[in-house]
């Protein structure tokens, strides 16, 4: 029987592959949203992302967020209700 990956593992894998970050932190903040829209038992619905990547060099904040949203489109349309992002280029 194949092992099912968690949402956190899937997000991490996709983001690392697409952005080769120098610094990376993905935090499941779901418990802080208990009782709010999109929250579900077991978590993995609300995330906070901090990432530093050379891919973001010369991009605006909106361009960076759109790039992440494109990579995670499937997850953002399904299990992920909210994703807070702090995206920087090296040296910022």
Q: Which residues pair with 83 in a beta bridge?
A: 47
Predicted confidence at residue 68, as pLDDT, reads 98
pLDDT tens, residue by residue, 36-81: 665 555 567 889 999 999 999 999 999 999 999 999 999 999 889 8
Whole-prediction pTM: 0.86
Q: What is the mean pLDDT of the chain?
A: 89
Predicted confidence at residue 36, as pLDDT, reads 62
Those residues whose C-beta lies under 8 Å from the C-beta of residue 87, and which sit 6 or more positions away, are 49, 51, 52, 53, 56, 61, 64, 65, 68
Domains of the chain by residue range: 7-88
- The second-level CATH assignment, the architecture, of 7-88 is 2-Layer Sandwich (3.30)
Q: Name the DSSP letter for residue 45.
A: S
- Whole-number Å distance between alpha carbons of 58 and 84: 21
13: pLDDT strictly greater than 60? yes
Q: Which conformational region is residue 25 in: left (phi greater than 0), alpha (psi within -120 to 50 degrees), or beta?
A: beta
Q: How does residue 9 score in pLDDT terms, banded at 50, 70 and 90?
A: very high
Predicted confidence at residue 44, as pLDDT, reads 74
């Amino acid at each position: 029987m194949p092992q099912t990956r968690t949402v956190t593992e899937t997000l991490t894998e996709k983001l690392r592959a697409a952005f080769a970050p120098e610094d990376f932190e993905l935090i499941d903040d779901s418990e802080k949203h208990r009782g709010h829209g999109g929250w579900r038992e077991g978590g993995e619905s609300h995330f906070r992302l901090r990432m530093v990547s050379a891919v973001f060099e010369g991009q605006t904040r909106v361009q960076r967020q759109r790039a992440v949203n494109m990579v995670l489109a499937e997850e953002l349309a399904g299990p992920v209700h909210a994703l807070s992002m702090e995206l920087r280029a090296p040296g910022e």
